[in-house]
Every structure is written in structure tokens, then in C-alpha cells.
């Protein structure tokens, strides 16, 4: 398998002036994270969103107040960082200055978020990280699906369907552990299990414009593309389908020239596209359970509860990460035309 990179390299996200908050070195054992929370389980909770331009994050944002009410969590209105890591750090500092007793955050930059986590730790405020695992800093729990499995499932689906030829992976931000894990898992799986496949790559930083421009340029030079893996359907689905349509390459499943497409997210637009035959599959990322268990773990951590690795009561496994943090790896099922109408797989239907 050959791997070719297009559109240049990803510029690293700025670390901003985070040293002022005393960025920690990471690597500490956090199996008892949250045990020192002094709120006794009560108090205001802050919720920090990474962005709201994606249907996935719109769904997550809509689930948060619903799940907070069910769990008896006093959550403040969610704050949106609008895709800016510097803004996210500022937002968290502002929330901490308001006296919150707990924080749920979806980090934009896995490394940069460490400074804000260190500040929260100093203020004895437990934190739960949703969707992205921080590289530095202590959290009570990371709530996310297995992103390595995302890349592997996409690889296996395309590899079994196509067997040989060119496939494209439209990558997420490589400053995010999610983008790195999905990209590396997809490449490694293709190299090992499907040596007759050639992987072309588009660094898109979770931005629809970059995805569209990258695919347009790549397809102009590679009219024989057979498959596409979109690492985030919430931002890549529309530009991908529009670009293929303009190029006369958007064929439905079963038609001659159909490009096999698999995505990540499981939003309603992807499910509709699977039913219509314009894409073939998605790995459903559970926005509803992200909101539910993010708030649940935070409430328990605020009350002084600690956690440990092992099986959970909600069909997932808690693992210990290399930096000592714990991660609850929620299930993320593969959705195809065979099971697209199974309501049990719909975790992103809010808007």
C-alpha cells in the first residue's frame, strides 16, 4: 500500500499564552481523579463546547440540558469556543472565575487543554473530558468512543468492498488525538490487510471548506478513486457530496461508477444518505451517551467518587490511558443499509 499526502502539512495549533496558567507535565496517575472535589456533588457545572457548526455538536449541545435535568445536575448554559483553542482556554478560565464546581469539556487541542485542566485542579474543580482525551492534565474521566476502532472499521469496510485501487481519507485535525488515532488506524489497517489499496489523504482540520477544496483537487488528478473515508460526517458530508456531484461522480450504490463512502458520526443526514444510496456506511458516534455519561461521571466525581478500569454497566469498558487518566470507551456501531432503520443506533437525532 502506498500513502500519499496532499494539500501540505497541518499547521500546529498555537499554544497561546498558556504558560501563565502553569501547564502541567502530564503523566500523573489519575485513577483517583475527582476524589478531592469539595462540592459534595452540588453546585453549578460548566459545559464547554468546541464548536456548533457540526450537526454532531449541535445534537450533543441539545442533549446536555436534557440529560442534566434527568441527572439533577445544575448545568449552566453551554459555552461555545467556535473552533478556537485560545477561546476555549479563555472560556474555561471565565467559568472557573464564576465559581463552578465541575466542568465538562470537549477539548479542541489535546495538548493545549492541559493548561486549563491544571488551573481547574488548583481550584479543586473536577473535570470530565468528552470526545477527546487530553494529552496533559488530570480529568476524572474521559468519555469517548474508541477512535482507533473508527479507523479500523472504516478500513475494513472499504477494503472488503473495494479490494484494490485508490481510496481517500479526509482527515480531522492532527492536533487532536481523535484525528491522529483515526488516521493512523486507517493507514495501518490498509497497509497490513489490504496491500493492493492506495491511500490518498486530505488534511482538513475538521473544516468543510478544506475538505471540499482538497477533494476537488485530488479528484481532478485521480478520476479512478474508488472509496472515501470521511472522519467527520458532520462537517465533511455535505461538501463531499457536493464536490462529487459537480464532478459528475456522485453515483448511487449499485450504479456503475459508484464511489464507496464511509463516515464517522451517525447524524441524521448520514442516515438519510445511506438510505438514498449516496453513501454506504457510518460509524455512529453517540452524542446522547456522551452527554449522559459526561454529566454522570462529573456528578459522581464532584461527590468524591473515584473510578477504576474494567467493564461498566452500560456495555463499555474503562481503560487506563498512558498518562494515567481513565477513559470510558463507549460503543460506536457500524451503520449500513442493513441496519440504518434500527432506532437503537440513533444517538445523534437532536438538533
Domain boundaries, the chain: 23-144+287-345, 147-284
Rounded to a whole number, what is the distance in angstroms from the first to the last CA of the chain? 40
Count Cα atoms within 13 angstroms, Cβ side, for 308.
Answer: 0
Contact present, 146 and 332 (Cβ < 8 Å): yes
Average pLDDT over residues 115-136: 96
Checking if the pLDDT of 27 tops 50, the result is no
Bridge partners, 330 (sequence order): 145
Tell me the Ramachandran region of residue 125: left when phi exceeds 0, alpha when psi lies from -120 to 50, beta otherwise: beta
Enter the CATH code of domain 147-284.
3.40.50.2300
Q: What's residue 42's pLDDT?
A: 83
User: Which three three-digit cell numbers place residue 116?
Assistant: 486549563
Q: What confidence tier does 291 reach under pLDDT thresholds 50, 70, 90?
A: very high
What's the pLDDT band for 12 if we cut at 50, 70, 90?
very low
5 pLDDT exceeds 60? no
Average pLDDT of span 192-217: 97
pLDDT band (50, 70, 90) for residue 55: confident
Length, in residues, of the chain? 351
Contact (CB, 8 A) for 172 and 231: yes
- State residue 158's pLDDT score: 98
Grid coordinates representing 327 are: 477513559
Question: Do the Cβ atoms of 275 and 337 come closer than 8 Å?
Answer: yes
pLDDT at 184 over 70: yes
Is 245 a residue whose pLDDT tops 50? Answer: yes
Average the pLDDT over 271-293 and give the result: 95
331 contacts 315 by C-beta, under 8 angstroms:
yes
Mean pLDDT, the chain, rounded, equals 88
Judged against a pLDDT cut of 90, whether residue 113 lies above it is answered with: yes
Q: How confident is the model at residue 346 (pLDDT cuts 50, 70, 90)?
A: low
In the predicted model, is pLDDT for residue 24 greater than 80?
A: no
Instruction: With beta carbons less than 8 A apart as the criterion, state whether 146 and 331 touch.
Output: no
pTM above 0.95, yes or no: no
- pLDDT value at residue 345: 66
What would the pLDDT profile of 60-89 be if each residue is shown by its tens digit?
999 999 999 999 999 999 999 999 999 999
pLDDT at 1: 46
Supply the pLDDT for residue 175.
86
Write a three-state SS string for 241-282.
HHHHHHCCCCCCCCCCCCCEEEEEECCHHHHHHHHHCCCCEE
Q: How far apart are CA 252 and CA 250, in angstroms?
A: 7
Whether residue 95 has pLDDT greater than 50: yes
Instruction: Give the pLDDT of residue 106.
Output: 97
* DSSP codes of every residue in 161-220: HH-SEEEEEEE--TTSHHHHHHHHHHHHHHHHH-TTEEEEEEE-TT-HHHHHHHHHHHHH
**pLDDT score of 211:** 98
Pair 136, 323: CB distance under 8 Å = yes
The pLDDT confidence band at residue 343, using thresholds 50, 70 and 90, is: confident
Q: DSSP assignment, residue 75?
A: B
3-state secondary structure of 106: coil
% of the chain residues with pLDDT over 90: 78
Give the mean pLDDT of 31-59.
73
Whole-number Å distance between alpha carbons of 231 and 110: 17
SS (H, E, C) 8-53: CCCCCCCCCCHHHHCCCCCCCCCCCCCCCCCCCCCCCEEEEECCCC
The domain 23-144+287-345 belongs to what CATH superfamily?
A: Response regulator (3.40.50.2300)
pLDDT band at 22 (very low <50, low <70, confident <90, very high): very low
pLDDT average, residue stretch 210-221: 97
Asked whether residue 258 carries a pLDDT value surpassing 90, the answer given is yes
Arithmetic mean of pLDDT, 172-190: 94
Amino acid at each position: 500500500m502506498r500513502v500519499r499526502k496532499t494539500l501540505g502539512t497541518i499547521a500546529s495549533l498555537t499554544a497561546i499564552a498558556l504558560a501563565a496558567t502553569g501547564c502541567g507535565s502530564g503523566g500523573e496517575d489519575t485513577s483517583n481523579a475527582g476524589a478531592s472535589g469539595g462540592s459534595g456533588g452540588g453546585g453549578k457545572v460548566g459545559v464547554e463546547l468546541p464548536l456548533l457548526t457540526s450537526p454532531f455538536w449541535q445534537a450533543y449541545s441539545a442533549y446536555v440540558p436534557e440529560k442534566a435535568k434527568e441527572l439533577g445536575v445544575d448545568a449552566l448554559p453551554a459555552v461555545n469556543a467556535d473552533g478556537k483553542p485560545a477561546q476555549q482556554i479563555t472560556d474555561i478560565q471565565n467559568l472557573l472565575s464564576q465559581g463552578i464546581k465541575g466542568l465538562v469539556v470537549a477539548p479542541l487541542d489535546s495538548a493545549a487543554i492541559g493548561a486549563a485542566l491544571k488551573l481547574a485542579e488548583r481550584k479543586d474543580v473536577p473535570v470530565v473530558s468528552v470526545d477527546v482525551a487530553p494529552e496533559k492534565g488530570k480529568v476524572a474521566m474521559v468519555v469517548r468512543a474508541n477512535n482507533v476502532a473508527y479507523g479500523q472499521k472504516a478500513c475494513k469496510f472499504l477494503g472488503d468492498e473495494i479490494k484494490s485501487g485508490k481510496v481517500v481519507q479526509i482527515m480531522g485535525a492532527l492536533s487532536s488525538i481523535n484525528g491522529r488515532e483515526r488516521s493512523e488506524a486507517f493507514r495501518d489497517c490498509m497497509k497490513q490487510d489490504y496491500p493492493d489499496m492506495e491511500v490518498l489523504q486530505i488534511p482538513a482540520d475538521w473544516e468543510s471548506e478544506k475538505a471540499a477544496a482538497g477533494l476537488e483537487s485530488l479528484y481532478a488528478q485521480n478520476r479512478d478513486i474508488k472509496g472515501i473515508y470521511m472522519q467527520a460526517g458532520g462537517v465533511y458530508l455535505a461538501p463531499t457530496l457536493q464536490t462529487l456531484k459537480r464532478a459528475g461522480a456522485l453515483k448511487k450504490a449499485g450504479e456503475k461508477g459508484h464511489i464507496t463512502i464511509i463516515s464517522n458520526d451517525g447524524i441524521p443526514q448520514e442516515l438519510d444518505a445511506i438510505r438514498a444510496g449516496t453513501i454506504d456506511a457510518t460509524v455512529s458516534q453517540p452524542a446522547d451517551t456522551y452527554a449522559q455519561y459526561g454529566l454522570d461521571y462529573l456528578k459522581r466525581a464532584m461527590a468524591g467518587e473515584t473510578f477504576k478500569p474494567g467493564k461498566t454497566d452500560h456495555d463499555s469498558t474503562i481503560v487506563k490511558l498512558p498518562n494515567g487518566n481513565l477513559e470510558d470507551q463507549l460503543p460506536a456501531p457500524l451503520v449500513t443499509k442493513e441496519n440504518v432503520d434500527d432506532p437503537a443506533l440513533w444517538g445523534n437525532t437532536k438538533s
